[in-house]
Amino acid sequence: MVLFATFALALSACKGGGAELVKAQEKFAEDACACKDLECVKKVQAEQQKWVAEHGAAATGSEEDAEKIAAANKKLTDCVTKLATAGAGK
């Protein structure tokens, strides 16, 4: 989950056209929320790490984009937390 938060925080400070950033984070959130176990979440995290490595340094976004990214990150974090909490109770 740390990378998910790092991704959002890093991009939230960016300025410029960021539709690609928003789309990417929303996809990571959707993918993570579709996971049924933490192994799946790890795969999503690996995909996100790869995306950040390939696009993160050159990525820019507006404040509106940052808000959308933060919302997607909250959704992702909530889903992963719910899954982790459910798994801990087994």
What is the domain range of residue 50? Answer: 2-8+15-88
Cβ count near 25 (within 10 Å): 27
Q: pLDDT tens for residues 3-39?
A: 555 455 455 444 444 788 889 999 999 999 999 999 9
Number of domains into which the chain is organized = 1
Is there a contact between 36 and 19 (Cβ–Cβ < 8 Å)?
no
Q: pTM above the 0.85 mark?
A: no
Rounded (5°) CA angle 81-87-88: 90
